[in-house]
Amino acid sequence: MTSSPPAAPRGRERRARDSRVGDKIFMNFARGAGILLLVIMAAIAGFLAWRSGLALSKNDGNFFTTFEWTPDAPKPVFGIAVLVFGTIVSALIAMVIAVPVAIGIALFISHYAPRRIAQPFAYLVDLLAAVPSIVYGLWGALFLVPHLDGLTSWLNQYLGWTYLFDQTQSGTPRNLFTVGILLAIMILPIITAVSREVFRQVPRMHEEAALALGATRWEMIRTAVLPFGRPGVISASMLGLGRALGETIAVAVVLSSNSVLSLHILDAGGGTFAQNIALKFAEAGENGRNALMASGLVLFVITLLVNGAARLIIARRKEYSGANA
């Protein structure tokens, strides 16, 4: 007479089989989500390319070098030279200001501040990331712009010889420099929050080993924390740069838009892709909207290039992250 197999092994086999089925379901779900994302991005790019082609076929100017933007005129002429310059310059100013300050704040919260101070400070930084863009824009227009006269005058007086800070126009500083400062304040919480969490993931034994060898706290941070967190800081910076490149309402409220391209960043005027789309979409005709789609396609490509470059940098810096340790 044969005996039936024990119940315990049979239960383990059933659980293992159910686990494999669950793994397959989750894998297929994750794969489908990734494919859906690629399809959505391809659809967006295809739509923008189609509408861009309609506009460019009627353009009597060079799309990349023309300063003028009159796509609904009887003889359409429009270009993105001013928009490319304004978008890149304002984003670079924001990054130059925000990244060092954000890293300093993140290090202060994660390695210097006492816990009773670090926790409220971290909550405050996270809260700043949730402030709507229009609030930043109104604050920039009503408070920041009137109070930058002294700074712009100082830069013009002592750094005007650099040509970049040479102010050739007088008046309210509604310029790319002001926009860059406002964008820096807006992206600061994002970079700080991500960098803070990355610095907290540094293995404790790395820090203790550096301190045991006689390193000061700053030397420990320089040799153990910053190399480990470098890929995360780069990722955080790219997130901030993405918001700076695509910010719309705040820039539209603060910047005095015109079709003049000037290397004097303290002079009023300039423009960005997002601002131009927001201000002119409602009053644009059919060809004008197609032209705005064309500028949106350029911004789409710039964003993809920036994120691709960030991924390449992170891939080359993996050996410093401790991920392979």
Least confident of 13-27, 94-108, 218-232: 13-27
State how far the Cα of 82 lies from the Cα of 226, in Å rounded to an integer. 37
**For residue 14, what pLDDT band results from cuts at 50, 70 and 90?**
low
State how far the Cα of 79 lies from the Cα of 75, in Å rounded to an integer. 13
pLDDT (average), residues 299-315: 82
4 pLDDT exceeds 70?
no
pTM: 0.85
The overall average pLDDT reported for the chain is 85
State how far the Cα of 230 lies from the Cα of 195, in Å rounded to an integer. 9
**For residue 9, what pLDDT band results from cuts at 50, 70 and 90?**
low
For residue 163, the model assigns a pLDDT of 84
175 pLDDT exceeds 70?
yes
**For residue 91, what pLDDT band results from cuts at 50, 70 and 90?**
very high
Are 187 and 244 in contact, with CB atoms under 8 Å apart? yes
Q: What percent of the chain has pLDDT over 90?
A: 25
Q: Which residues pair with 135 in a beta bridge?
A: none
Q: How far apart are the first and last CA of the chain?
A: 57
For residue 3, the model assigns a pLDDT of 53
pLDDT (average), residues 181-191: 93
For residue 324, the model assigns a pLDDT of 44
pLDDT (average), residues 260-287: 85
CATH superfamily for domain 75-285+300-321? MetI-like (1.10.3720.10)
Q: Where are the domains of the chain?
A: 75-285+300-321
Are 261 and 82 in contact, with CB atoms under 8 Å apart? yes
The CA-atom distances, in angstroms, between 72 and each of 25, 67, 243, 299 are: 52, 15, 30, 21
State how far the Cα of 276 lies from the Cα of 85, in Å rounded to an integer. 13
pLDDT tens by residue, 143-159 = 998 888 888 888 888 88
- DSSP for 86-149 reads HHHHHHHHHHHHHHHHHHHHHHIIIIIS-HHHHHHHHHHHHHHHTS-HHHHHHHIIIIITTT-H
Tokens of 237: 């910076």
Q: Which residues pair with 69 in a beta bridge?
A: 78
For residue 8, the model assigns a pLDDT of 56
State how far the Cα of 102 lies from the Cα of 233, in Å rounded to an integer. 10
